[in-house]
Structure 1
Amino acid sequence: MISIHLPLKLSVIRVTGTRVTREDGPYRALNALAARCREQHGEQPISEFPGVQAARQLFRSIGIEPTNHRPSSEALLRRALKDKGFHQVNSAVDVINWCSLDFMLPICAYDLGKIAGDIVLREGRPGEAYEGLNHRMVNLEGRYALLDAEGPFGSPITDSRRTAISEESTDLLCLILAPSDFDPERLAAFGQTLGERLCEGQGQFEATVVASSE
């Protein structure tokens, strides 16, 4: 289903039959985690925060300078430490943000029903772009790019509107991105935790760790 053409590991979580709601439990958990981050690490530089360097390594491995184009996990951390708050979207997106801040790794999340055919993860080419969740065009040249039969739809900076999760979504695909030398058992545990938090008794999930064969 997913072919990888870049040096990294993925935890692939496929969720079926879940319910996406406005329930605020995950959002409250996200804010509680943010408060702990401020309390425990608020005075130290971002670069010394536990886990930050893994996501930065992930970006630098294909020539992206993470201080210019931040991984989504680090963007969440910066909001947490500055007490800027988070956008409450829906239960699934709030879980993704909660887990990304918890694991300090970027997580991509999509409505599986909106993805066409097989998925390729590779470096973006000139001219490849999509409309992001922030309504801005996301240029993928030289960056991590996820593509399906209809073209590009995702990256660990921000995802696309085309495959966005809504309250009508029931089947989800989530990808936790990690550097190629990341501990596979730890990554597998992250996938398990994400699946459990997404389902909470509603639906089922499968989580597997895959790596590039190149």
Structure 2
Amino acid sequence: MIPISLQNQLFETVPDFKIGCVQYESIVVDKPPKELSGRIELFQQTVELDLAEQSVTYYEGVKEWRQVFKQLGMDPGRYRPSHEALFRRVKQGKGDIWSESSAIALNNFFSLYYQMPMGLYDLEQVKGTVEVRLGIVEDEYEGLNGRRNRMEGKLTSSDQNGAFGSPIVDSKRTSVSWETTKGLHLFYLQPSIPISDAEALTNRLGEMFQQVHGGNFEAAVLSRYKPHVG
């Protein structure tokens, strides 16, 4: 697995901060298989029913990550965790969150089903060591939202070329495409999850992604007990 580390500063405000990391090799990105599309459709209907009379904070994973943002000095009302943004789109009837790409569709499904932000990146576009940290003034990138995103003071992932992802919005530079054969998944696990459960979940998600895309994977969970791998 490529070197990945967590900034020690994160543990000062969120002692149980955790990131699940999965690295994929020899995957094939295609259209979502029918079985996955069917499961996604049923799940979306369940979410629509849940949110018909409830706010998105009905979900514990949304409430917890809003609190994490506040602890890290990020305003969740201004910069929403990405899974919360997806839930809001479903609530608003904007069901266009399911990409024709199997990789992106599955990433979004995981993010909603397990109620946590996620980032999926083309590993060929990630250079050198990855660090998950609070952004500095130089950190900015063109995001998948079509805007220039300034990441100073926000939770972000960076490599030798600078910031490329966050639990808010990811960059175009490292985005997954139809040509992607090597991938990196970062799961922003709920801090309340015990480390043994976090490891089991990270491995399970890697296995499910592999079942759809083939290839092989390595998985690890980073925490204050294990702040780096690779």
TM-score normalised per structure 1: 0.91
Give deviations 1:55-87, integer Å, cap 9, x for gaps: 212212211121221101111111122221124
| Preserved CA contact (<8 Å) 2:106 2:209 | yes
Residue number among 3, 21, 36 corresponding to 2:30 in the alignment: 21
| Preserved CA contact (<8 Å) 2:65 2:190 | yes
Q: Secondary structure at the match of 2:189?
A: strand
Q: How does 1:16-165 map to 2 (within 5 A)?
A: 16-25=25-34, 26-87=36-97, 88-165=99-176
Q: CA deviation at 1:190?
A: 2.7
Q: Secondary structure at the match of 1:92?
A: helix
Q: CA deviation at 1:135?
A: 2.1
**In the aligned structure 2, how far is the partner of 1:60 from the partner of 1:27?**
35
AA of the residue aligned to 2:218: E
Equivalences, count: 214
| Preserved CA contact (<8 Å) 1:95 1:197 | no
**Aligned-residue RMSD, C-alpha:** 1.9
Q: CA deviation at 1:155?
A: 0.7
| Preserved CA contact (<8 Å) 2:5 2:222 | no
Q: CA deviation at 1:118?
A: 0.6
For 1:211, the equivalent position in structure 2 comes to 223
Q: CA deviation at 1:192?
A: 2.5
For 1:194, the equivalent position in structure 2 comes to 205
AA of the residue aligned to 1:15: Y
Structure 2: gaps of 5 or more residues: 12-16
For 1:174, the equivalent position in structure 2 comes to 185
| Preserved CA contact (<8 Å) 2:111 2:117 | yes
| Preserved CA contact (<8 Å) 1:35 1:80 | no
AA of the residue aligned to 2:137: P
Mean CA deviation greater in 111-120 or 21-30: 21-30
| Preserved CA contact (<8 Å) 1:16 1:205 | yes
Aligned-pair identity (%): 32
Q: CA deviation at 1:196?
A: 2.3
Q: Secondary structure at the match of 2:203?
A: helix
| Preserved CA contact (<8 Å) 1:13 1:207 | yes
**In the aligned structure 2, how far is the partner of 1:24 from the partner of 1:131?**
30
**In the aligned structure 2, how far is the partner of 1:31 from the partner of 1:80?**
12
